[in-house]
């Protein structure tokens, strides 16, 4: 798989898209240097560098000969799950509020990371409750920082 060349192509496309979008930035009249001036320079440099990455990636050759999706998924399953669970946590914060969302999040992530089984359940729940309500007490009650409120709870 031509990894660097592939990444270079994706980044070049991103730079190209933004360069095209930079044409839509309104430039006020009578202003010698408009707001699109600097982004275009940066985007120009970015596209040149990413094209160089494509070229060097092609010259270097493939990084791995074979790629197996099942192996890849097995290796990154926990990482992907953690990202997904965090995304759900962020989504739930405005609905469930900080303490409940955080409790559920810490319990689920511990489970995802391998703390399962009846024996570890009390510890998992205690860490969840301690994190959720401990941080709530310290930050919201003691330090007077505002934490996300829930519309449901």
Partner 1 sequence: MLEQLLASTAAIFDPKIFLPMTGGIAAGLIGGAIPGVTITMTIVLVLPFTFGMDPLQGLATMIGVYVGGESGGLVSASLLGIPGTPSAIATTFDGFPMARKGEPGRAVWLGIWASFIGGLLAGIPLVIGALQLAALAVQFGPWEYFSLFVLTLTIVASLSEQSLLKGLISGVFGLLVTVIGSDPIMGAARFDFGTEFLRTGFPFLPVLIGVFAFSQLMKDIEQLRPAGSDRLLGGKVSLKVSHLRVIGEILRQPVNLIRSTLIGLWIGILPAVGGSAANILAYDQAKKASRTPEKFGTGIPDGIIASESSNNANIGGSLITMMAFGIPGDAVTAVMLGALIIHGIQPGPLFVMTHTKVAYGMFAAYFIAHFVTVAIEWIGLKLFLRVILVPQRTLIPIILVLCTIGAYALNNIMENVWTFYFFGIIGYLMVKFEFPLAPLIIGVVLGDQLETNLIRALMTDDHLALFLTRPISGALLGLSVLSVALTLWQRRRRPPAPAAADVDF
Binding site for partner 1 (CB under 8 A): 1, 3-4, 6-7, 11, 15, 18, 21-22, 25-26, 28, 31-39, 42-43, 45-46, 49-50, 52-53, 56, 63-64, 67, 71-72, 75, 78-79, 82-83, 86-87, 89-90, 93-94, 102, 105-106, 109-110, 113-115, 123, 127, 131-132, 135, 139, 143-148
Pick between residue 143 and residue 152 the one whose CB is nearest to partner 1. Answer: 143
Q: Closest separation between CB of residue 118 and partner 1, Å?
A: 16
Q: Closest separation between CB of residue 152 and partner 1, Å?
A: 15
For the CA atoms of 96, 98, 101, 104, what is the dihedral angle to 10 degrees?
-140
Pick between residue 13 and residue 63 the one whose CB is nearest to partner 1. Answer: 63
- Tokens 């998992």 belong to residue: 124
CA diameter of the chain: 72
Q: Closest separation between CB of residue 76 and partner 1, Å?
A: 8
Nearest to 106 by CA among 118, 119, 92: 92
The upper half-sphere exposure of residue 35, i.e. CA atoms within 13 Å in the direction of its Cβ, equals: 8
- Tokens 């946590």 belong to residue: 89
State how far the Cα of 128 lies from the Cα of 112, in Å rounded to an integer: 13
- Work out the burial of residue 43: count CB atoms within 10 Å of its CB; fewer than 13 is exposed, 13-18 middle, 19 or more buried: buried
Q: Closest separation between CB of residue 65 and partner 1, Å?
A: 11
Pick between residue 26 and residue 118 the one whose CB is nearest to partner 1. Answer: 26
Q: Closest separation between CB of residue 13 and partner 1, Å?
A: 14
């Amino acid at each position: 798989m031509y990894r660097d060349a592939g990444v270079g192509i994706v980044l070049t496309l991103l730079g190209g898209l933004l360069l095209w979008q930079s044409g839509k930035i309104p430039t006020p009249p009578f202003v010698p240097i408009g707001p699109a001036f600097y982004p275009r320079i940066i985007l120009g440099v970015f596209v040149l560098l990413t094209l160089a990455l494509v070229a060097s990636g092609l010259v270097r050759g493939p990084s791995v000969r074979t790629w197996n999706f099942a192996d890849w998924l097995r290796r990154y399953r926990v990482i992907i799950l953690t990202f997904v669970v965090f995304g759900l946590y962020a989504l739930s914060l405005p609905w469930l509020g900080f303490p409940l969302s955080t409790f559920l999040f810490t319990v689920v992530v511990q489970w995802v990371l391998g703390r399962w089984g009846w024996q570890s359940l009390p510890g998992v729940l205690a860490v969840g409750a301690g994190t959720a309500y401990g941080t709530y007490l310290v930050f919201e009650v003691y330090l007077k920082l505002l934490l996300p409120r829930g519309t449901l709870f």
